[in-house]
Amino acid sequence: MTPAVFGISGPSLTAAERSFFRDCDPAGYIIFGRNIESKAQLRALTDALRAVHGRDDLAILIDQEGGRVARMQEPVWPKFPAGEIFDKLYDIAPATAIEAARLNAQAIAVSLREVGITVDCLPLLDVRQPDADNVIGDRALGSEPMRVAALGRAILDGLQRGGVVGVVKHLPGHGRTSVDTHKALPTVTASDEELQLDLAPFQTLNQAPMGMTGHLLFTAWDAENPSTLSKTVVQDIIRDRIGFDGLLFTDDLDMEALSGTVPERAARAQAAGCDIALNCWAKMDDMIGIVERLAPMSDKTRQRLDQAMATIAESRSAGSADELDGLLARRDGLIAAAA
């Protein structure tokens, strides 16, 4: 198995993609708006991906956070709120905010499960910082680490109850970013002591089954390599200090925060200790290059992948409209009662 997650070019597999994916056997796939036309079409696409591999437990990812990051859009799917709403609700009624976040995440998961998506890149555990770039902004669950952790735990639980694996992001913390990593590499000059604030939510939830790196340069830890490509950050900070032993994805390797070709970035990320190279844009040349540059999936990475997918193996969620409507009604009732 190739330790990579790839994007797909359109709403259905091309013949070239089907052949390539069958041969290289990637760890999974990620869905974007370009892959979505309707519920029936999206379910057919995810079923086709499972058929290529003959794996019911195939990792099929999406960024369905709510707010401005949502690949599945109205009117076909509900509009889910950004993380900030639960942070504000926490100011009024902490227990209500936690339960509302759990119900919201479970509702997201039910909508994903209906169309065959098994992994959501949520929750963000990035601690919001003043004067940082707005790429995180209202997506964050707050600026106080234990609040972020409490809401993040509820989201992981809700996703799992709905039959979807959650991915904590962006390790070791994206809250201090000065620029959008899609466009440039941010340099974080905070001290090791100051950065403990950023690490705290990840340490609290270090048993999460999956996580994702962020492409930031932390001068306190490695002044030359962004975290995704830094053995020091991946091994010493993420694995050892945070204590995260789940499946570790890179953030999208096509982002301009990173230098070199996409296949070179994938190889450097693997050498640093990342489990899975994430390449979102379905450029065949890049995908071929990644397969050529990566070593085969290690036994440890395969174990982490299998353990993560096993957490939803016995989900009782049917992904039905009635189930979704009930969860949304309960969530909205909690939010209204606390307002």
pLDDT score, position 137: 93
Domain 81-280+294-338 classification at class level? alpha beta
pLDDT score, position 318: 67
Gap between the Cα atoms of 335 and 339, Å rounded: 6
Tokens representing 111 are 């909508």
Gap between the Cα atoms of 323 and 217, Å rounded: 43
pLDDT score, position 332: 96
Handedness of CA 169, 174, 180, 184 (dihedral sign): negative
Mean pLDDT by 10 residues, the chain (339 residues): 98 98 98 98 98 95 97 96 97 97 98 97 96 91 98 98 97 93 94 98 98 98 98 98 98 96 98 98 98 98 98 81 94 90
pLDDT score, position 273: 98
pLDDT score, position 138: 94
Gap between the Cα atoms of 126 and 201, Å rounded: 8
- Give catalytic residue positions: 182, 251
Mind spelling out the 3-state secondary structure of the chain?
A: CEEEEEECCCCCCCHHHHHHHHHHCEEEEEECHHHCCCHHHHHHHHHHHHHHHCCCCCEEEECEEECCEECCCCCCCCCCCCCHHHHHHHHHCHHHHHHHHHHHHHHHHHHHHHCCCCEECCCECCCCCCCCCCCCHHHCCCCCHHHHHHHHHHHHHHHHHCCCEEEEEEECCCCCCCCCCCCCCCEECCCHHHHHHHHHHHHHCCCCCEEEECCCEECCCCCCCCHHHCHHHHHHHHHHHCCCCCEEECCCCCCCCCCCCHHHHHHHHHHHCCCEEEECCCCHHHHHHHHHHCCCCCHHHHHHHHHHHHCCCCCCCCCCHHHHHHHHHHHHHHHHHHC
Inter-residue contact 293 to 263 (CB < 8 Å): yes
